[in-house]
Structure 1
């Protein structure tokens, strides 16, 4: 079962609905902090890995934050620091980036460094040999899903040998959103790491919501209900195969263009393309965000102030237990683009796209 929920766009959407000045009623402050701690320790898939060999540090963190709340610190600022300590972009709440070490280490505020950073869905010819499909989100409505299929057909009708798939800014969504694009780039069967659930009531609810009406989903729920809470569900496959029935002869060469905003299902697309497409080269300047090791998130609302929320991943990639996690560094491009950031990134053909187009013309097939 391979389900990756839209998480980064969801955070922005939820945060936009919350009143900035909402406060917890007097006397209930610590209970919402304890609610966050209980949810993390009980259901967060990253909890065993993130606290390993750090028990004393973790205990001291909780004690310090509780003392701060008792002395008048805002509860939800303390919750943000608590969640930020885990350094997981899928574990969050409003204000968490201030405390997340990764956010400090790897800034990617392109909007502040460019005249305009607002990547839009777009497809067009770059030149006589190269076509561009810009795909800035995996969080699609029906119209956008239809647009992806239209873009693939338009490329195939263009006669261009080369394709640039530009996913800069793609912060995630559903894996199924990019399937028409993956099929287009696919040229051999591949294998990727599967996800494993840390068993909890939240994880069971997640499976029930997204797969509970299938035979496989019902069987998984039954096994989860027999598994002790807090353990990872045993007996699951550690990998899954990616195989399609045919290989498109076009494109001949592909440039997959990334940046530091690419996360979650955007990163899964990068991994699956690398696993199944020898004709694709990944271009960029920064590594991706690093937001994929722990996934399949649930949104929880606090009992004392239901306008406040936190997001919690229920699954762990099987690569984590083998020491191959990607979140600490993100995914590196194959080729680092040696140019300044473009002036604008919207629905335009920018300087990086033109540079990659020239690179593809001189590149031999792998």
Structure 2
């Protein structure tokens, strides 16, 4: 190798090494800001609503924060807070695992070594619990993959790990803390898988053996209290299952429970509907419980629609922001061995259209609005109630928009989360490979005329707090029967 080539080679090594070391939080902030501005489909929509001045002030504040941060996990938290200026969902920012492990190994206060613990073994806890006659927060609880002990210390209930299969959490580490509020309600601090904290504003014991803390559900393992109300038992089964199911709850009512529209559930949902078609069509009432269903794939709910259908359903389309980075997702689809020939052809045509319109929003369909028409309107079920709550988002909200166009359908529960207008997420690594950004490629033609983001979908029948959650199915059935 001659001197000139050697010099160039050494320059490249030094440059790469210098770049690899420039993984400061400020660098990551600058990259995140530029990447999001150029590629996120919802960026300009929010700037037009909130104004450039508000965005500029937001950037100044977070740039100052980023300059002071040395820890990668703290940096991630702050940068994600920056993203929340735009919307609450269809966003993500995570620490790549290799860097997470490196970060933990280099810190002097690792969670494994320094995390708060409550060292009461299971046998001792059971002995302590034998003195408690009334069911409360104290006990041994299960929320996969964790077995958690809860013991009262001073004015708090401390939840700590007894067993955590396939998790980095260690025995006796504190997983959550519950405290009583001045108004006699309870709130909690829950520590997530990466040891970051999340405040939970509502903690309640449902029946004797079910503990609900916001998005966290736990079932009592010990002591075993008798559950006197069968509706509570049914409710616990419904909200804790990971699998769709259908069952007859009375002579004229069928309950279909769908905890997720994830594509992996499509075959299960389709097979349940096919196997029980005659049963469903023989009943006047159908209740579809989608509480806590955060979304998934539109394909997963397609076989439900025929049972709801009464008239043509209008489906508002989306448009994609075409950029070099965004269009790589279509390239990934084309290269995916799991995609069919027809699906790859759709992706190929879409990619051609996108690449011909860089910097613009592009519709991949022939029309902005599609109208779905079916040939059959079933006599039964005559009345359909869909139970919803604040944890419904994304694909589930799209399902609700289509379903509520039916004359048979009413929504029961509470307003949904409101994460639908900006969608179709794509993921990219930061230049230093320490962070992975998830942002959105498309926006709905509904906005601004019918915005769901930040507003949600309201129920036809609001189920207020005087109606226990375990009674929502029976309340819905009562209304349906009265129609």
Which band: TM-score by shorter chain? 0.7 to 0.9
Matched with 2:407 is: 278
Classify the secondary structure of the residue corresponding to 1:57. helix
1:288 aligned onto 2:408: no
CA shift at 1:84, angstroms? 1.1
Pair 109,257 (structure 1): closer, same or farther in 2 beyond 3 Å? farther
What is the distance in 2 between the residues matched to 1:339 and 1:234?
A: 43
Separation in structure 2 between the aligned mates of residue 71 and residue 145 of structure 1, nearest angstrom: 47
Q: Secondary structure at the match of 2:474?
A: helix
| TM-aligned CA distance change 1:60 to 1:274, over 3 Å | same
In 1: Cα distance, 2:202 partner to 2:378 partner: 35
Cross-structure match for 1:324: 450
Q: Distance in 2 between matches of 1:127 and 1:164?
A: 11
Bigger mean CA deviation after superposition, 147-156 or 43-52: 147-156
Q: TM-score w.r.t. structure 1 length?
A: 0.78
The 1:254–1:165 alpha-carbon spacing in structure 2 relative to 1, beyond 3 Å, is same
Corresponding residue pairs, total: 318
Taking structure 1 as reference, are residues 224 and 183 closer, same or farther at Cα in structure 2, changes over 3 Å only?
Answer: same
Structure 1 spans left out of the alignment, 5+ residues: 1-24, 96-103, 344-349
Q: Distance in 1 between matches of 2:201 and 2:390?
A: 8
Aligned pair partner of 1:304 in 432, 448, 456? 432
Instruction: Note the C-alpha offset of 1:77.
Output: 2.4
Alignment of 1:135-284 (within 5 A): 135-141=258-264, 144-152=265-273, 153-154=275-276, 156-157=278-279, 159-210=282-333, 214-229=344-359, 231-233=360-362, 237-275=367-405, 277-284=406-413
Greater relative contact order structure (CA < 8 Å, 6+ sep): 1
Q: How far off is 1:109 after superposition?
A: 8.0
Q: Cα RMSD (Å) of the superposition?
A: 2.9
Q: Give yes or no for contact 1:156–1:250 (8 Å, CA) kept in 2.
A: no
Partner residue of 1:133? 256
- How do residues 87-102 of structure 1 correspond to structure 2 at under 5 angstroms? 87-93=87-93
Secondary structure at the counterpart of residue 326 of structure 2: helix
Deviation at 1:148, TM superposition (A): 1.2
Contact kept, 8 Å, 2:353 with 2:364, in 1: the verdict is no
Aligned residue number for residue 18 of structure 1? none
Structure of higher CA gyration radius: 2
Normalised to the residue count of structure 2, the TM-score between the two structures is: 0.60
